[in-house]
Amino acid sequence: MGKWTGKKVAVLYGGRSSEREVSLKTGAACAEALDTRGLDVTLVDVGLDVAAQLRACGAEVAFIALHGRYGEDGSIQGLLESLGIPYTGSGVLASAVGMDKVLSKLLFKSLGLALTDYRVYPPERAATLHGKDFPFTFPVVVKPACEGSSVGVSLVKDPTHLPAACVEAARWKGDVIIEKYVKGKEVQVAVLDGQAMGVIEVVPANEFYDYAAKYTAGTTQYFYPARISEADTHRLKEAAELAHRGLGCAGVTRTDFILAADGTAYILEVNTLPGMTASSLVPKIAAGNGISFPELCERLLDGASLKS
């Protein structure tokens, strides 16, 4: 019998972010999985009246299946702290810093993790940026600082396409980040309760692991365990655990890396609320460790708490 058996579990999903559609899939999958474990589950599509929604359903614990702004950035975590409702995943500070790619990069650098060269610009400069503004050559990756699921992200090979990519990134939350593109294996590490479960390799059909590659079935190949050496696997798992601890995360996280040909593991970001859909990476890694999806969801729920 789990910690929350017999209690009212609210699965928070949907929400108002650019990742709403992904969150709806995550929430539905997690609610179904928890239901199979005998838990009393209510789905809550998070709106501006979420506090009233939680009171109306009698929520005693919250399973957060939100993504993006308002769900992954510390906002809902702060509300739940104020309401005294225990919740899954990371707390307010870890969520906020993890969502902000500029702040998290500074933290990763202080931890000694490898970063690709990058520069940060205010959104109002987006339309006028060009290659002379940064000290590295094309191709580059352009992204907004505070979005997830590759929303607003572009791989730019032709300098003439840079302004349009920057304007697209500026449509979203946060500053505009321009990173030097590093070719290598795209690998992700899942960390559960502070311990790395494994490394999965992602091979998108196109050159770039964009939103479509992440959420369109059949467009991407996955290899678990990743087709890398034991030494590289060990280094990646250590780096992911360090990033998880450095941010102060709880529950499960997924850390994304580019593993370059010379063995350097460049950290891209830590996802404090990774996707939990049929095509998501954390469930694939968990399955590779003999942890079923319902078991994974209940384990996350068992870790629900107030962090403040």
Active site residues: 19, 149, 215, 254, 256, 269, 271, 275
Measure the CA–CA gap between 29 and 231, rounded to whole angstroms: 35
Measure the CA–CA gap between 30 and 63, rounded to whole angstroms: 9
127 neighbors 167 (Cβ within 8 angstroms): yes
Measure the CA–CA gap between 68 and 173, rounded to whole angstroms: 10
123-127, Cβ contacts within 8 angstroms, sequence gap of 24 or more: 123/170, 123/175, 123/176, 124/170, 125/166, 125/176, 126/163, 126/166, 126/167, 126/169, 126/170, 126/176, 127/163, 127/166, 127/167
Measure the CA–CA gap between 290 and 57, rounded to whole angstroms: 34
Measure the CA–CA gap between 62 and 117, rounded to whole angstroms: 38
Structure-token pair, residue 269: 């970001």
For 264, residues 6+ apart whose C-beta sits below 8 A from its C-beta are: 114
Sheet containing strand 140-144, edge to edge, reads 118-121, 176-180, 140-144, 154-156
Tell me how many degrees the CA angle 281-284-289 measures, rounded to the nearest 5.
130
Length of the chain equals: 308
